[in-house]
Amino acid sequence: MRLTQAEERMLNGEEGYIKKKAMTFLVRYGEAAGAERLIDLDGTADFHPGLYASWFPETAITLDEIKELAARGERFKVPTFGNKPGSPAFIVHGWEDCGVWPQNDPDCHAEYLARMKPYMQMGMIPALSCDYYLISSFLPTAGQHCAWGESSAIPWVNAILGARANYDGCFEAAYLGKIPAYDMHLDENRKPTRLVECQVELKTDMDYDLFGWAVGEKIGVEVPVITGIGKPTYSQLVKMNSTLNTGGQVRMYHVPGLTPEAPHPGEVAAMKFKEKYSIDRNDLKKVYEKINYASKRSVDFVYLGCPHYNIIEIQKVVSLLKGRKVRVPMWVMTNPWTFKMAEQMGYRDTLVQAGAALLSGTCPGMMEGCMPPADVIATDSAKQNYYITGFIDPRPLQAWYGSVEDCVEAAVTGKWEGQWS
Amino acid sequence: MSKKAEKIVLKGRKVIGGVAEGEALVSKVPMMGWGNVDQKRGVTTERNHPLFRIPLKGKVFVFPEPRGSGGWIFYGFTKFYGTNPVAMVYRKGLALTVLAALVMDVPCVTDLDKNPIEFIETGDWVKVDGDRGVVEIYKNGKEKSKR
């Protein structure tokens, strides 16, 4: 890799030990990725803050080192947002209601929160969410280079915002303001390589969740032009992005009329694609059947909020649950700022009165399977559904999947009644 | 592709240098990270996956591409438990595979002149030369290649 003189100085340790560590990581990473150089970030960065916020535990910038930087008054080079906390994950709000130890232990929670402080002193904004981009109040603009993470966020930054990021947000990138220039940072890798025509009218949130999975599974790591998806809501786009990056690894796509780098419909008609795919209702049904991985109708735990629910999604659950009681534990997970808004609107109280819990900042997957004891769970998220059984393995876990309405009914009755319609 | 061919050579790009060889364990479908990796056991825990719970330890791990979350790095963490493959070969990677390969720190080659999934089968003896970006496939069983 070609380095600038300033980068060489950091690599040689002339700017101190911590910068040397950070630059050593970026150079090793860039060389393995086949990058020719580092690029200066001019957008934003995120990472999972915790005992460390690096990709490699062995060479991570440690929390003590981060404290040292913070004490010296050092700051992140670009606006930096905390993704869901990691190493270890924890419930940011509503933990008192979660019913699971050690998450509901006040001392434990205080310790977790204290860990966020040095990051915040360096300027990290504690959005602490997988969909922090919905609430961050500051986003990169088209063409800006970023270092992000998270399944739903990577297509969001590339496709929806037209900014540029690979799946590599970390402390080192935010601190030095640099990242290897390859893949999504380069024009040639962002152009469409496949065409996906949606042949079914997508209506519900679940339709978009399933559609994203079906597309991801068909095209893998390619960059599709997607047509025929109508006018998805924000909730639907977030869901679709999360499953594009679960059924496959779609970090960039184009929707004419919706995404900033998309070709015009006329141009699409004239383009030559190596492969074309169409997705119909039967493709969605196949995903639905694959995701539904259960036979026992009794449900022990209901999880909503993957990706973290926005305020409109919370509003819907509240209206479905008002005046009713859940028979089994139900978590409604959101991001910390939406939690505050929901609390102000009385939604947290409504949910708690119904026996459910409004929580923020993590998910059972992020907590590596930490949730109320369950042999059978139900969720409206294909992503969470498909990972959670893997976290629990070798203990068997059955996982139902359906609409938010199906899930709330299951929480109230303790029985799964959802079906394909 | 001919199964009788004694040796097939694929040329690609180094991700991680070094030379290692072993029996191939091939997934024809993408590998998923995060919850669907158990680094302690060195297996994928993805339900429905052809390699579900099959140990990667000591194998030359061959797959087309990654899918899913950045928790793909957990494949790299197999190294901390001694459950890691001895080498990796994949058709197309991205940040997920690069970061995992760096942690695992075993010879790793990608961007090959031919699709490795069409040439390598589980049980083939495979030598991965990361420094030269060369993958040698021995179809006639488990004899070691000549060093």
Q: How confident is the model at residue B146 (pLDDT cuts 50, 70, 90)?
A: low
Pick the residue from chain A with its C-alpha nearest to B73.
A55
Q: How confident is the model at residue B147 (pLDDT cuts 50, 70, 90)?
A: very low
Last residue of a domain, one of A241, A265, A289: A289
Residues B69-95: what's their mean pLDDT? Answer: 97
Record: contact B103-A55, CB cut-off 8 A: yes
Residues A319, A52: Cα–Cα separation, whole Å? 40
Query: How many residues are given for chain B?
Result: 147
Judge whether B79 is closer than 8 Å to chain A, CB to CB.
no
A90 located within any domain: yes
pLDDT tens profile A212-254: 999 999 999 999 999 999 999 999 999 999 999 999 999 999 9
The reported pLDDT for the residue numbered B141 is: 66
Number of helical H runs and strand E runs in chain A:
15, 12
CATH number, domain with residue A326: 3.30.499.10
Cβ-contact B10, B134 below 8 angstroms: yes
Q: Which residues of B touch A146 (CB under 8 A)?
A: none
The reported pLDDT for the residue numbered B4 is: 55
The reported pLDDT for the residue numbered B142 is: 60
pLDDT tens profile A261-315: 999 999 999 999 999 999 999 999 999 999 999 999 999 999 999 999 999 999 9
Cβ-contact A395, A389 below 8 angstroms: no
Query: Which residues neighbour A334 within 8 Å (Cβ) at sequence distance 6 or greater?
Result: A129, A305, A308, A309, A310, A311, A314, A342, A358, A359, A360
Residues A243, A41: Cα–Cα separation, whole Å? 27
- Work out the angle between the directed axes of helices A106-121 and A63-71 (0-180°, nearest 10): 50
- Structure-token match 């000591």, residue found: B58
Domain ranges of chain B: 7-46+54-138
Residues A206, A203: Cα–Cα separation, whole Å? 8
Q: How confident is the model at residue A7 (pLDDT cuts 50, 70, 90)?
A: very high
Phi, psi of A32 (to 5 degrees): -65, -30
Residues A74, A18: Cα–Cα separation, whole Å? 12
Name the interface residues of A facing B (CB cutoff 8 Å): 28-29, 32-34, 55-58, 149-151, 166-168, 183, 216, 220-221, 245-249, 251, 290, 293, 365, 368-369, 386-391, 393-394
Q: In this structure, which CATH number among 3.40.190.10, 3.40.50.10090, 3.40.50.2300, 3.50.30.10 belongs to the domain B7-46+54-138?
A: 3.50.30.10
Rg over CA atoms, chain A:
22
Q: How confident is the model at residue A421 (pLDDT cuts 50, 70, 90)?
A: confident
Cβ-contact A165, A133 below 8 angstroms: no
Are A404 and A297 members of one domain?
A: yes
Residue type, A285: K
CATH number, domain with residue A84: 3.30.499
Tokens of B121: 């089968």
Residue numbers of the domain that contains A166? 5-187
Tell me what percent of the residues of chain A surpass a pLDDT of 70. 100
Of A56, A57, A293, the CB nearest to B102: A56
Are A216 and A135 members of one domain?
A: no
The residue among B101, B41, B64 whose CA lies nearest residue A55 is B101
Q: How confident is the model at residue A34 (pLDDT cuts 50, 70, 90)?
A: very high
Residues A108-119: what's their mean pLDDT? Answer: 97
pLDDT tens profile B29-43: 999 999 999 999 999
Q: How confident is the model at residue A1 (pLDDT cuts 50, 70, 90)?
A: very high
Q: How confident is the model at residue B144 (pLDDT cuts 50, 70, 90)?
A: low
Residues A394, A370: Cα–Cα separation, whole Å? 15
Are A240 and A378 members of one domain?
A: no
Q: Which residues of B touch A219 (CB under 8 A)?
A: none
Pick the residue from chain B with its C-alpha nearest to A166.
B95
Cα A332 to its chain centre, rounded Å, is 16
CATH number, domain with residue A267: 3.40.50
pLDDT tens profile A310-354: 999 999 999 999 999 999 999 999 999 999 999 999 999 999 999
Classify strands B134-138 and B125-129 as parallel, antiparallel or unpaired: antiparallel
CA distances from B45 to A59, A386, B37, B63, B99 (A): 27, 10, 6, 16, 20
Q: Which of B2, B27, B69, B145 is catalytic?
A: B69
Residues B35, B53: Cα–Cα separation, whole Å? 13
pLDDT tens profile A368-402: 999 999 999 999 999 999 999 999 999 999 999 99
* Strand residues in A79-159 grouped as ranges (E): 80-82
A419 located within any domain: no
Residue type, A400: W
The residue among A115, A45, A49, A107 whose CA lies nearest residue A80 is A45
The reported pLDDT for the residue numbered B6 is: 79
Strand, helix or coil at B42?
coil
Whether a cis peptide bond, with omega within 30° of 0, leads into A88 is yes
Q: How confident is the model at residue A260 (pLDDT cuts 50, 70, 90)?
A: very high
Strand, helix or coil at A152?
coil
Record: contact B16-A386, CB cut-off 8 A: no
A420 located within any domain: no
Q: Where are the alpha helices (DSSP H) in B46-135?
A: 74-77, 95-104, 116-119
Mean pLDDT taken over chain A: 97
Neighbours of A382 (CB within 10 A): 25
Cβ-contact A196, A224 below 8 angstroms: yes
Count of structural domains, chain A: 3
Phi, psi of A371 (to 5 degrees): -170, 170
What does the angle CA A284 – CA A289 – CA A290 come to, to the nearest 5 degrees? 100
A285 located within any domain: yes
